[in-house]
Amino acid sequence: MAPPPSKAESGSAFSGVTSAQSTAPSRPSKSRTGGPPGARSGTPTPQHVQMELKQRILFALGRLADRDTQQIAIEDLDKMVETISPDCVCVFLSCLYDSEIQQKSVVKKECVRLFGALAHLHGDLLVPHLTKIIASIMRRLRDPDTSVRDACVDAIASLSALMLCPPSSSSSGFEKENGTQNASALTLATFSKPLFDALGEQNKSVQTGAALCLARVIESAKSPPLSALARLCPRICKFMSNPNFLARPALLGVVGSLSQVPLCLCFLSPLFRPSPHFYVFCLFTYISL
């Protein structure tokens, strides 16, 4: 049998093992710092959520142009409108603005319809964007397709019904920010100014669409400011008496809507050529207001 190793030999062997272990490369430790807070906690950041939503919206808008996927795209967009968070409304609107470059009428029509759907479900959130939304609708109003024009008329009606609501209602953002009658007059001017600009264009289709929109604005307004409506009447009379105006039948709808307001009848009198008794009636009506 071989003699057991001495203490010196065993000590030198042990020290060799420990030195080899100490010189072995260590594994790199995972850093616990750096990166966005959402990545560390596992929750997506607001920027990531908005980017993902934008991609989903653009993908659905692209599928509208294909007849096979059109209905699925409409359902997806409606579901996104219903479940969208307040901080993502501007992302949705931006995608709808950018869709103006689409050439197919079905895409334009559905985008305009989505403006009305957003107004119905998220009305207060659209108040800061109202001017830009109306401008986008007016650009689509020039489309020769009548289905796009009808969608524009419906969207304008939905927006005006929401924004021109009674002062006692809590659903209008303009009333909250600017007061009652002044806010209503401001809102009516926001709608009427681009519509009157369109009425001045020498294009029968555009004039017809603008007249239909203006009539729906007046009809949909639940509490329109009478003084602001009265200021519209002389301009309507001027268009009706202009021989170069091409959309008189459509503008008659505006005259009919304004004639429901007693104060406006006085300003529309050049169109009706009334008797002197009519002016007496208007005077008593005005005094009784």
User: What's the confidence (pLDDT) of residue 174?
Assistant: 43
3-state secondary structure of 29: coil
Whether 113 and 196 map to the same domain: the answer is: no
Indicate whether 286 pLDDT > 80: no
Which pLDDT band, with edges at 50, 70 and 90, does 271 fall under? low
User: What's the confidence (pLDDT) of residue 117?
Assistant: 93
Distance of alpha carbon 219 from alpha carbon 256, whole angstroms:
10
Q: Which two tokens stand for residue 225?
A: 């400011």
pLDDT in tens, 29-70: 444 444 444 445 567 787 888 899 999 999 999 899 899 999
Report which of residues 277 and 112 the model is more confident about.
112
pLDDT in tens, 93-139: 999 998 876 668 889 999 999 999 998 898 888 989 999 999 999 99
- Mean of pLDDT over the chain: 77
Whether 85 and 201 map to the same domain: the answer is: no
pLDDT in tens, 177-212: 444 445 566 678 899 999 999 999 999 999 999 999
Last-in-domain residue among 163, 184, 219: 163
User: What's the confidence (pLDDT) of residue 47?
Assistant: 84
Q: In sequence order, what DSSP letters do the residues of 138-203 get, joined into one string?
A: HHHHT-S-HHHHHHHHHHHHHHHHHHS--TT-S--HHHHHH-SHHHHHHHHHHHHHHHHHHHTSS-
Whether 197 and 271 map to the same domain: the answer is: yes
Whether 193 and 240 map to the same domain: the answer is: yes
Residue 32 lies in a domain: no
Residue 30 lies in a domain: no
User: What's the confidence (pLDDT) of residue 37?
Assistant: 47
| 90: nearest Cα among 139, 57, 138 | 57
Whether 280 and 207 map to the same domain: the answer is: yes
CB 258 within 8 A of CB 236: yes
Neighbours of 181 (CB within 10 A): 15
Whether 97 and 179 map to the same domain: the answer is: no
Whether 136 and 206 map to the same domain: the answer is: no
Report which of residues 32 and 92 the model is more confident about.
92
Which pLDDT band, with edges at 50, 70 and 90, does 273 fall under? low
The total domain count for the chain is 2
Whether 250 and 271 map to the same domain: the answer is: yes
Which pLDDT band, with edges at 50, 70 and 90, does 144 fall under? confident
Residue 25 lies in a domain: no
Last-in-domain residue among 133, 163, 193: 163
Residue 222's domain comprises 166-289
Residue 209 lies in a domain: yes
CB 205 within 8 A of CB 149: yes
Find the CATH number of the domain harbouring 64. 1.25.40.90
Whether 174 and 285 map to the same domain: the answer is: yes
Whether 60 and 135 map to the same domain: the answer is: yes
Which pLDDT band, with edges at 50, 70 and 90, does 4 fall under? low
Last-in-domain residue among 163, 186, 220: 163
Whether 155 and 118 map to the same domain: the answer is: yes
Residue 237: alpha-carbon gap to chain centroid: 32
Q: Is the pTM of this model over 0.85?
A: no
